[in-house]
Amino acid sequence: MCAIRLRLGILGADDSLPIIQAVVEAYKEFVCLPVVYWDESEILDLIRPLASEADMWLFSGQVPYSIVKQSGEIEAPLFYVPHIGASLYRTLLQVHYTKRIPVSRLSFDTYQRREIERLLEEAGIEESIPYVKHYEGGISAQELSDYHYLLWKQGKTEAAVTCLRTAHLELEKLGMPVYRVLPARSAVEAVIQTIIRTGQMLQAQDAQIAVQMIEVDAMQAVSPETFSTDDMYRLEMKTTEKLLRYARKVQGSLKSAGPGRYVIFTTRGALKEMTAGYKTIPPAEEMAHLYEEIAACGIGIGRTAYEAEIQAGKAFLHAKQHGRGAWMAAFDDGTIAGPLGAREQIRYSLGGEELRELAERTRLSVATIGKLQAVLRKRGNNEIEAHELAAYMQILPRSARRILKELEAAGLAEAIGETNPYPRGRPRKVYRLFL
């Protein structure tokens, strides 16, 4: 076993959570953070307070997993226990021994029809499965219970087999015979092995080289009337001392890279912790109160020191474009995130054939197309107006309008309506983007 110690958030219904938790607690690699839910609408509110405490999350099924994943609020790795194999076998045996209902007289949800048929074939059972409600991602308990209940009221089925606890409870209230598919120990253990391997991989990632490229302008605080060469020297020495203190806090080493430019070599894990997962700028006391002096900062992650330094240079140039004091981070997967600490942050790609093809159809850069795609992913839809785009990309509204017009001319956007946020204001065009 590995020497890692992971804080694992476990979210499940009241009947499935104890099963999963009992299996997980047998592994010394985990500290469990169990959360029980009774309604899908409360899931996000339940896990938000633990978002910064859990290294990874394990969900009792596909629906809670999909709700959290689609929200985009949790960046830690997410996993769920699939209700396949032994889980379904156990439920079908229960149905057979308690009611002796043929599988053709049952309604199922979550599974694909072929999954159930293959399982029965392996047991030597050849019978049709006419009623299956398969879905991708999340679904409401009401929709599932309505599906099962209607079939039962019409006399087409004798019972329901559901993977969703809330649908199970709803059908019980309606008086319909219903059987719940619970996680099997073997399925939980298979997912746990994947989680452990992922933890080992992330541990190795944290040891990767990280480079922080900083440009400082110590002259900001100098009065022109009292400025002298001695003042310049003292300010430079003071700034260097501050940077050295900060470098020690990230367990790194400081190197001068020319007038006002410094490079800190450290590890991915140290900077990840200092920036809360590359979302914020370190607190003032951690930065030794360098904020007023930092003109731009770029963080680079790479497999080698050279690669990390190249990435830091890219991030630094993007930070310079965002304006004074901006921080950006560039990763070894070809993406850039930031500005760190800003209200609206995006993570976008700088490469890929698709991006290049889209850029060639317009007069926009690959980086701009990458940012646009990231904004749409973050919003969860492909409709936007210029002022919203400007806020996400931290550019002027007129620049955002130019980008949207460019996309429209290339057939990659269309105006679909107008919105007027102020009664006396000028209407704003809403565009649908095809990226």
Full-model pTM? 0.62
pLDDT for the residue numbered 1: 39
Q: Which residue did the predictor score with more confidence, 115 or 143? A: 143
pLDDT of 202 above 90: no
User: How many angstroms separate the CA atoms of 275 and 45, rounded?
Assistant: 24
pLDDT tens for each residue of 315-371: 999 999 888 889 999 998 888 888 998 887 888 877 677 888 888 888 888 888 888
Query: What is the percentage of the chain residues whose pLDDT exceeds 70?
Result: 94
pLDDT tens for each residue of 372-409: 888 888 787 888 998 888 888 878 888 989 999 999 88
pLDDT of 93 above 60: yes
pLDDT of 12 above 90: yes
The lowest-confidence range among 93-107, 197-211, 219-233, 285-299 is 219-233
pLDDT for the residue numbered 158: 95
125-142: average pLDDT: 88
Q: Which residue did the predictor score with more confidence, 428 or 212? A: 212
CA 121 to chain centre: 38
Please tell me the total number of residues recorded for the chain in this structure: 435
pLDDT of 291 above 80: no
Largest Cα–Cα separation, the chain: 95
Strand pairing category for 159-162 and 106-110: parallel
Average pLDDT for the chain: 87
Residues 6+ apart with CB under 8 A from 94: 179
pLDDT of 6 above 80: yes
Phi, psi of 151 (to 5 degrees): -60, -40
Angle between helices 86-99 and 113-122 (to 10 degrees): 70
pLDDT for the residue numbered 292: 77
* Whether the Cβ atoms of residue 335 and residue 373 lie closer than 8 Å to each other: no
Which domains does the chain carry? 6-81+185-203 (3.40.50.2300), 86-180 (3.40.50.10660), 207-342 (3.30.70.270), 364-433 (1.10.10.10)
* Whether the Cβ atoms of residue 215 and residue 294 lie closer than 8 Å to each other: yes
The pLDDT confidence band at residue 2, using thresholds 50, 70 and 90, is very low
The lowest-confidence range among 16-30, 112-126, 315-329 is 112-126
Query: What is the percentage of the chain residues whose pLDDT exceeds 90?
Result: 37
The pLDDT confidence band at residue 4, using thresholds 50, 70 and 90, is low
In which order are the strands placed within the sheet that holds 106-110?
131-134, 106-110, 159-162, 178-180
Strand pairing category for 413-419 and 428-433: antiparallel
Q: What sign does the CA torsion over 249, 250, 253, 255 have?
A: negative
Residues 6+ apart with CB under 8 A from 25: 32
pLDDT for the residue numbered 58: 96
pLDDT for the residue numbered 229: 65
